[in-house]
Amino acid sequence: MTASVQNSSLNRDMLSRMDANDPLAPFRERFVIPESLIYMNGNSLGPLTISARDRMATAVADEWGSQLIRGWNKAGWYDIPWRLGDKIGRLIGAEAGETVVCDSTSVNLFKAVAAACGLRPERKKIVSEVGNFPTDLYVLDGFKRFAGDAFNVDIRPREEIADAIDAQTAVVVLTHVHYVSGEIFPMGEISRLAHDAGALIVWDLSHSAGAVVTDLNGSKADFAVGCGYKHLNGGPGAPAFIFAAKRHHAAMSQPLSGWFGHADPFRFTDDFEPADGVRRLLCGTTGVLSATALEAGVDLMLEADLHAMSEKAVALSDLFQRRAAESCGGHGLELRSPDDARQRGANLSYGHKSGYAIMQNLIARGVIGDFRAPDNMRFGFSPLFMRYTDVFDAVEILRDILESRSYEDSEFSKKHSVT
Amino acid sequence: MTASVQNSSLNRDMLSRMDANDPLAPFRERFVIPESLIYMNGNSLGPLTISARDRMATAVADEWGSQLIRGWNKAGWYDIPWRLGDKIGRLIGAEAGETVVCDSTSVNLFKAVAAACGLRPERKKIVSEVGNFPTDLYVLDGFKRFAGDAFNVDIRPREEIADAIDAQTAVVVLTHVHYVSGEIFPMGEISRLAHDAGALIVWDLSHSAGAVVTDLNGSKADFAVGCGYKHLNGGPGAPAFIFAAKRHHAAMSQPLSGWFGHADPFRFTDDFEPADGVRRLLCGTTGVLSATALEAGVDLMLEADLHAMSEKAVALSDLFQRRAAESCGGHGLELRSPDDARQRGANLSYGHKSGYAIMQNLIARGVIGDFRAPDNMRFGFSPLFMRYTDVFDAVEILRDILESRSYEDSEFSKKHSVT
């Protein structure tokens, strides 16, 4: 299934033939992608699927509109958190009953960290990474402020993480695929380090789920959270997910104990009795409309071979990097990602002192990547809708912008240039 | 504007003329209400508005579908939490900049309680009500478990609340309109009791916002939360809102510090710096699609006169109660709400030992109320789409069911009868 691109000098016709032979190519038609765009931002906001568009119209007009309150049972709204959670579970190496969909990634991370720390009450140290996705660090900061000064949040550069994990460590909180560089943490290895020290591991899969083969149970992960609106194509602000390994279910608890985490929410009792299993990680009512769009995205993804997707993402990213090295050299692009495409997820970044202006020029010409402060241009490689020729064309446009230096004249060049 | 129904023996023709003269009557056409239904459950899930249906189609196909990531700025997704928060603020007596839309009511209550307790660090007592909406009590339980055993959550019957508020009390957490009885807490009076004791007040407005005139600032409220999918007609699982009085903004903090609560989320720094004002109560990314439906519901409500709405809700509820007393006497209905319609919000409950079966029979005949354990039949009175004749017809159907005792034969009669 691997789409190997051995020769980066492949011309466009050869890439066009690769697209024609790509077993994942038919998935592109299932998405709504404006004809004029090369969308390299599925890692930030996945595009609309045809099925999500249709499903949303039904959910709004037929379910909410006609069934009204009866939709909770008739339309299956009530079951969404665990029904959809189990579907996502199949993409991340979870068993049924280990994943629920709810809240935002940030809120879920708070719950996961609190639950994990609750399982290691005698330990007061949390290890994470410098430059982790900011909200993860902000949530740890909030947890520490709230849980008390006894907690020590030890934020280290990647190369020092292993040393930081010690006998005081309750939890290690890391993002599997880095949001800028795409660098992948070896899940099994880090998990073993944490467990050897008696600590637990919490993974943020926001940039992994739906793009990179991820095996939570195979790597003995304890908890995980992740985002619904990136590679899972759930729509803007789609709800997130949270995973807890079965071995922790009986003992775990978390402070956001709302009625959907109750053993019997409609008994309407005053006393909180946690639901069995992963459902005790739920809190309030799930955003049904947003979750419905996410379910359509996930259902589509489950039709694809996850290994083939992951391989194609690697091939697309590798092609971009090698074409860029050939075509765009001498213009100050600095690779901010591992050199080996297999060591990164489905996103890749380049630093450039005029990164912001160049990205705005790319966007104006229909290549939609994004900019991440201070100077990173980030490109995503979504295997279900991207073509090899898209990568070729994107690099040609990037080359043209760099060679013509058109970005220097643009309205964006001054205010965001990093000097 | 008051639609006074002095004579409960009014016949249907007279009520029909009241509908014809009702200044709020034209709003009904702005909703999608199935012709065959009398929908008395807007207090649980508000119905779809025409504008929400259209707005959602645009949000999905044109904004997500065509603008993709650019929708965050172009379609105004980024601003939704505070833009929509300010709109809801106008319905609850908040100033601009005091309300944001985000997360669920449960998650927001956790933040509000934590923020309030943080402002009274030397006090460790939280007062709430027996039989409060369950998730509120569950959240307080979670807060106490997490914040430490020093906290005492003192849950009292309504008549003992005033006595329970003392010099140890950090926060009083109450629901303005009770979810079963509809009983209204006098906001100003309770707020004064709390403040006189040096405590703060947190209101849950889930059953008030959009149905009952609510004046947060006029009553000197400190914090408030509320639901988007009840009277605000935001759709199933719509995001909730949270309010903080301006006088607390500078000093308040809360533990769910995610990136949307950061002073500059897109600076992507490692250190959390809280946003100014109420935005520091935000956590993760808001569910844009769900919030979009809510905005349509709130926009419609802002076209109406809130006082006229509130008066009509009282009139509808009063009509129901008096018609039911006349027509349904001797069948074991027990009013579970204040006898005076002005002392309750836009919902009313009756206890009956076969309450579940009777409600199922009502639903089968197109009168959609709901059942709340153990034996309450609950009816909602939404002034924007309900008619006086709807109330008349609903009571006639209820009378018919009670007189014919048809509920005794129904499939529902056995398993849920309370004996």
Could you give the C-alpha distances from B121 to B147, B151, B198, in angstroms and in order?
A: 11, 11, 12
Q: Which residue of A has its CA nearest to B238?
A: A287
Name the residue among B107, B143, B268 with its Cβ closest to that of A107.
B107
CB contact under 8 A, B270 and A107: no
- pLDDT for B411 equals 66
Tell me the three state secondary structure of residue B211: coil
Report the 10 Å Cβ neighbour count for B163: 10
CB contact under 8 A, A285 and B235: no
Give me A167's structure tokens: 């006998």
Instruction: Give the residue among A392, A367, A150, A66 at the shortest CA–CA distance from B68.
Output: A367
Among the ranges given (A107-111, A143-147, A271-275, B227-231), the one the predictor scored with the smallest mean pLDDT: A143-147
What's the whole-number average pLDDT of chain B?
94
The pLDDT tens digits for A386-396 are 999 999 999 99
Mean pLDDT of B227-238: 98
The dihedral built from the CA positions of residue B289, B293, B296 and B301, taken in this order, carries a sign that is: negative
Active-site residue A229, yes or no? Answer: yes
- pLDDT for B2 equals 42
Distance CA A188, CA A93 (A): 13
Q: Indicate if the pLDDT at residue B415 is higher than 70.
A: no
Distance from CA of B14 to the nearest CA of A (A): 30
Mean pLDDT of A74-88: 97
pLDDT interval class at B1 (50, 70, 90): very low
pLDDT interval class at B419 (50, 70, 90): very low
Instruction: Give the residue among B306, B112, B281, B278 at the shortest CA–CA distance from B208.
Output: B306
Distance from CA of A318 to the nearest CA of B (A): 24
Active-site residue A230, yes or no? Answer: yes
Mean pLDDT of A31-40: 95
Mutate which: A135, A349, A375, vs B, most B CBs within 10 A: A135
Q: Which residue of B has its CA nearest to A117?
A: B146
Helix (H), strand (E), coil (C) string for A356-410: HHHHHHHHHCCEECEEECCCEEEEECCCCCCCHHHHHHHHHHHHHHHHHCHHHHC
- pLDDT for B52 equals 98
* Complex ipTM more than 0.90, yes or no: yes
- pLDDT for A46 equals 98
Contacts of B293 in chain A (CB under 8 A): 60, 289
Q: Which residue of A has its CA nearest to B239?
A: A287
Mutate which: A69, A84, A259, A356, vs B, most B CBs within 10 A: A69
pLDDT interval class at A409 (50, 70, 90): confident
- Which residues lie closer than 8 Å to A416 by C-beta, 6 or more apart? A355, A356, A357, A371
For A290-319, give one letter per residue: b (16+ CB within 10 A) or e. bbbbbbbbbebbeebebebbbbbbbbbbbb
The secondary structure of residue A353, as a DSSP letter, is T
CB contact under 8 A, B57 and A57: yes
High-pLDDT (> 90) share of chain A, %: 91
The pLDDT tens digits for A49-76 are 999 999 999 999 999 999 999 999 999 9
CB pairs under 8 A between A and B: 280
Mutate which: A31, A66, A155, A257, vs B, most B CBs within 10 A: A257
- Which residues lie closer than 8 Å to A49 by C-beta, 6 or more apart? A30, A31, A32, A233, A296, A297, A300
- pLDDT for B407 equals 87
pLDDT interval class at B408 (50, 70, 90): confident
Q: Indicate if the pLDDT at residue A417 is higher than 50.
A: no
Q: Which residue of A has its CA nearest to B34?
A: A66
Q: Which of A378, A385, A387, A412 is catalytic?
A: A378
The pLDDT tens digits for A252-284 are 999 999 999 999 998 899 999 999 999 999 999
pLDDT interval class at B10 (50, 70, 90): confident
- Which residues lie closer than 8 Å to A308 by C-beta, 6 or more apart? A1, A23, A24, A383
Contacts of B272 in chain A (CB under 8 A): 137-138, 141-142
- Which residues lie closer than 8 Å to B348 by C-beta, 6 or more apart? B182, B317, B320, B321, B335, B337, B378, B379, B381
CB contact under 8 A, B77 and A236: yes
The pLDDT tens digits for B159-199 are 999 999 999 999 999 999 999 999 999 999 999 999 999 99
Number of H helices, E strands in chain A: 13, 13
Name the residue among A77, A240, A283 with its Cβ closest to that of B236.
A77
Tell me the three state secondary structure of residue B358: helix
Q: Which of A230, A279, A280, A312 is catalytic?
A: A230
Mutate which: B289, B294, B376, vs A, most A CBs within 10 A: B289
Contacts of A145 in chain B (CB under 8 A): 253, 255, 257
Contacts of B60 in chain A (CB under 8 A): 48, 52-53, 56-57, 235, 293
Distance CA B24, CA B164 (A): 42
| CA B31 from centroid of its chain's CA atoms | 19
What's the whole-number average pLDDT of chain A?
94
Contacts of B68 in chain A (CB under 8 A): 34, 37, 39, 41, 45, 47, 368
pTM above 0.90, yes or no: yes
The pLDDT tens digits for B22-42 are 999 999 999 999 998 999 999
Q: Which residue of A has its CA nearest to B157?
A: A270
Q: Indicate if the pLDDT at residue A414 is higher than 90.
A: no
Give me A254's structure tokens: 């978390």
What string of DSSP letters covers A303-341? TS-HHHHHHHHHHHHHHHHHHHHHHSTTS--EE-S-SSG
Q: Which residue of B has its CA nearest to A371?
A: B266
CB contact under 8 A, A103 and B106: no
Could you give the C-alpha distances from B33 to A378, B368, B396, in angstroms and in order?
A: 47, 12, 20
Mutate which: A43, A48, A104, vs B, most B CBs within 10 A: A104
pLDDT interval class at B95 (50, 70, 90): very high
What string of DSSP letters covers A129-166? ETTS-HHHHHHHHHHHHHH-TT-EEEEE-GGGHHHH--
Domains and CATH numbers, chain A: 12-48+305-416 (3.90.1150.10), 79-302 (3.40.640.10)
- pLDDT for A148 equals 81
Give me B333's structure tokens: 């209905």
Distance CA B164, CA B152 (A): 12
Q: Which residues of B are catalytically annotated?
A: 133, 204, 229-230, 378
The pLDDT tens digits for A152-162 are 999 999 999 99
- pLDDT for A9 equals 56
| CA B283 from centroid of its chain's CA atoms | 22
Mean pLDDT of A98-112: 98
Active-site residue A39, yes or no? Answer: no
Distance from CA of A87 to the nearest CA of B (A): 20
Mean pLDDT of A130-142: 97
CB contact under 8 A, B107 and A37: no
Q: Indicate if the pLDDT at residue B3 is higher than 60.
A: no
Contacts of B240 in chain A (CB under 8 A): 284
Contacts of A234 in chain B (CB under 8 A): none
Tell me the three state secondary structure of residue A169: strand
What string of DSSP letters covers B19-64? HHH-TTGGGGGGB---TT-EE--TTTSPPPBHHHHHHHHIIIIIII
The pLDDT tens digits for A352-374 are 999 999 999 999 999 999 999 89
Do you find a cis peptide bond into A374, omega within 30 degrees of 0?
A: yes
Dihedral over alpha carbons A101, A141, A200, A271 (to 10 degrees) = -60
Distance from CA of B7 to the nearest CA of A (A): 32
CB contact under 8 A, A107 and B289: no
> Starting at the edge strand that comes first in sequence, how are the strands of the sheet with B334-335 ordered?
B334-335, B347-351, B376-380, B370-372
- Which residues lie closer than 8 Å to A399 by C-beta, 6 or more apart? A327, A328
